[in-house]
Structure 1
């Protein structure tokens, strides 16, 4: 809906828990204070949005923050993309079109690529040697996450930063900034191996649901995403999600009420995905 939202999930069980219209610090603090129980949270896995770090410090004082590894790794893909596009000004229009179609190829991991993909990459690198070099540095950045211990990862990260060629410092600026600004939280992944990859998949499913609904308003989209297949427990007195919290958010009510002796436990993405494919949402 043209602006960032807030989505929260259970990283151990890959469940969607909730989505909110605002990800502003004030709104998130109100939201988590209303829910309560933040002192029981042990690990928070997040992207590199600085507001989340501030909210975590206040609302989850006993939690360890882990930066989602996929948000870190994809900064290296951005570097490859910058170098690929830099070739456009020096090649013919026909070659430019052909090189545009190689974007997906350069995302492939070498160790996991098929023989055909490797052949295609080798042919591309013969024609564009600079792409080989930036691709190899992208692979080295990814390889940091192949380390088995935090100490090994820290060493690999330091070596990558120190040995990065000057000509690639600008393309890899996002990666370098991520390491400089978030290094301790990135390295905690090797002690608490959680990711929020399913949240990215969930965002795609929610967008697809919105398209199929020809543009739901936010509260309808949230209700469909959360309540269609949410696992609830009749035997536990749940919280009442009322307009009390909604009044703290901008532009009117934002929460779908859930009343009575219920507790909402989240929704498996596979169920949501199956309903989307069947056109049931």
Structure 2
């Protein structure tokens, strides 16, 4: 359905530029409603750009631009909790990319464009609550170790048990740390097959598109909402008699916590063909 609207066009007498009359509920950047722009953004996290463009009757480039703007807004608003048990691994998508996970919650926290030391240091250095990270599980990739030691010197590095049999001499302190801190990076490494499936189904998504679909798809986040506690109070009822009333209050003034992308939910959506 298309909507034709007659609008006024004005010219600024000071600078000579022309501009159109603003319309309610119409997106200022595109000739479509705000609701359609939001819908396209939401759908682009679950579907291919080509299928959305075909359904709406738009150019695929327009869908990609809306997707990019939508993801930029999500980057500003979606915040994942910093894991106390962090996993660092990599996945090869065109080239090696760094994967950050929350081992305790079995969730994805972030995907970095590469696994270089500078990139990892920049991410960890700007991470809220990085001093609360207790252990970091990883393989024997030196840039990971150096980045963690540079930014989070108090965090204990633990080499994943599957890599213990290699390079024992060079990594002995970190390898033996597993026995004092038995955390494993298995959940992070299990992401590799899921990400490869998504990349294959998307017929070659760009890294930015694949990262956004993994991190920001609605319904895959592991969230913990503030708890309420029951409280009974005595007060007069409408007839003037003493009565007991039940109220519910927050246990603590904490906001909702988002621990990242739940791996099991992500796997289920992929298997059902919904991602």
| Aligned partner (choices 120, 123, 128) of residue 28 of structure 1 | 120
Which residue does 1:280 correspond to in 2?
Answer: 274
TM-score w.r.t. the length of structure 2 is 0.52
CA RMSD of aligned residues (A): 1.8
Return the index of the structure with the highest Cα Rg. Answer: 2
Instruction: Write the deviation string for residues 87-145 of structure 1: whole angstroms up to 9, x where unpaired.
Output: xxxxxxxxxxxxxxxxxxxxxxxxxxxxxxxxxxxxxxxxxxxxxxxxxxxxxxxxxxx
CA distance in 2 between counterparts of 1:18 and 1:277 reads 22
Which residue does 1:210 correspond to in 2?
Answer: 199
SS in 1 for 2:158: strand
1:273 deviation in Å?
0.7
Q: Which has the higher contact order (CA 8 A, sep 6+)?
A: 1
* Equivalent pair of 1:40/1:62 in contact (CA under 8 Å): no
Q: Give structure 2 stretches of 5+ with no counterpart.
A: 1-92, 227-254
1:72 deviation in Å?
2.7
Between the two proteins, the alignment pairs up a number of residues equal to 153
Written as runs of structure 1 = structure 2, the 5 A alignment for 1:202-241 is 202-228=191-217, 229-232=220-223
1:231 deviation in Å?
3.1
Written as runs of structure 1 = structure 2, the 5 A alignment for 1:1-281 is 1-73=93-165, 175=166, 178-228=167-217, 229-232=220-223, 264-281=258-275
* Equivalent pair of 1:38/1:61 in contact (CA under 8 Å): no
CA distance in 2 between counterparts of 1:277 and 1:222 reads 18
CA distance in 2 between counterparts of 1:221 and 1:267 reads 14
Runs ≥4 residues deviating over 4 A: 232-235
1:35 deviation in Å?
1.8
SS in 1 for 2:259: coil
Q: Give structure 1 stretches of 5+ with no counterpart.
A: 74-174, 236-260
1:46 deviation in Å?
0.7
CA distance in 1 between counterparts of 2:177 and 2:224 reads 34
